[in-house]
């Protein structure tokens, strides 16, 4: 055996592009944690830099402003939610009922929220506080998320599984708001996302009126 065969191969050095991507991601992850803890008004770039073990000037290399960083956080959070819920729904059989779709979508979103994802927590904390200009630009992405719930409701109405007189927009906002708020009161150690998803879907789908 040649002597060279016993020599350990050295790790391939990271390219400048890869280093840059990793640094940018580290800043985003750090920002998500800090905004989740402090909210929008009380978070400064220096706080994010400290969490990322960097300096404020380094953040400006990747993000033009604090607002640009916040906008990226919101975008990542919403896009993750869209992917999670869509993938969960696509895994259902083709003849799944409206209730099954509703329960599956709710459970998928709750699973992410109750896992303590910093991006989701940061989204809930800062979304009501950010400037309207940021919200205007984010609504295009948010519309895709809302469309998932709107489709479930409208398909349910078309199939006669949801009352035709139910306002789809009101129901959609009620469902999404309830799921987002769950992060404030739900405790994973007391109830799983699956159990909560089942209970919430029952309330939304069947209401609380007792059958006579």
pLDDT at 191: 76
Query: Is the separation of the CB atoms in 44 and 61 below 8 Å?
Result: no
- Alpha-carbon separation of residue 26 from 21, 93, 112 (angstroms): 9, 38, 20
Mean pLDDT of 149-167: 94
61 in a domain, yes or no? no
Query: Is the separation of the CB atoms in 13 and 102 below 8 Å?
Result: no
183 in a domain, yes or no? yes
The per-residue pLDDT for range 103-137, each reduced to its tens digit, is 999 999 999 888 888 998 899 899 999 999 999 99
End-to-end CA distance of the chain: 84
Residue span of the structural domain in which 179 resides: 70-206
187 in a domain, yes or no? yes
Non-local (6+) Cβ contacts of 148 within 8 A are 82, 85, 86, 89, 105
pLDDT at 122: 93
The per-residue pLDDT for range 3-48, each reduced to its tens digit, is 444 545 556 665 656 888 999 999 999 999 999 999 999 999 999 9
Domain count, the chain: 1
Query: Where is pLDDT greater, at 44 or 56?
Result: 44
Mean pLDDT of 156-181: 92
Mean pLDDT of 72-97: 95
192 in a domain, yes or no? yes
152 in a domain, yes or no? yes
pLDDT at 112: 86
The per-residue pLDDT for range 170-206, each reduced to its tens digit, is 999 999 999 888 877 877 666 788 999 999 999 998 8
Q: What is the CATH number of the domain that holds 111?
A: 1.10.357.10
pLDDT at 180: 86
pLDDT > 70: what percent of the chain? 90
CB atoms closer than 10 angstroms to residue 151: 15
- Alpha-carbon separation of residue 56 from 33, 51, 63, 135, 209 (angstroms): 16, 11, 10, 25, 55
Query: Is the separation of the CB atoms in 204 and 102 below 8 Å?
Result: yes
5 in a domain, yes or no? no
149 in a domain, yes or no? yes
Least confident span in 73-77, 159-163, 206-210: 206-210
pLDDT at 56: 84
Q: What angle do CA 176, 74, 81 make, to 5 degrees?
A: 45
């Amino acid at each position: 055996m040649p002597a060279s065969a016993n020599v350990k191969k050295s790790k391939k050095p990271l390219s400048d592009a890869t280093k840059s991507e990793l640094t940018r991601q580290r800043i985003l992850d750090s920002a998500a944690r800090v905004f989740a803890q402090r909210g929008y008004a009380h978070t400064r770039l220096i706080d994010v830099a400290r969490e990322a073990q960097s300096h404020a000037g380094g953040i400006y290399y990747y993000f033009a402003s604090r607002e640009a960083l916040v906008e990226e956080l919101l975008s990542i959070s919403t896009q993750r939610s869209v992917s999670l819920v869509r993938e969960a729904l696509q895994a259902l059989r083709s003849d799944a009922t409206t209730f099954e779709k509703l329960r599956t979508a709710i459970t998928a979103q709750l699973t992410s929220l109750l896992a303590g994802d910093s991006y989701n927590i940061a989204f809930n904390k800062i979304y009501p506080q950010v400037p309207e200009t940021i919200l205007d630009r984010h609504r295009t992405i948010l519309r895709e998320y809302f469309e998932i719930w709107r489709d479930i409701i409208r398909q349910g109405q078309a199939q006669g599984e949801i009352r035709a007189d139910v306002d789809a927009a009101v129901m959609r906002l009620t469902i999404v708001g309830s799921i987002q708020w769950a992060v404030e009161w739900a405790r994973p150690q007391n109830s799983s996302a699956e159990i909560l998803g089942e209970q919430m879907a029952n309330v939304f789908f069947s209401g609380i009126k007792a059958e006579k």
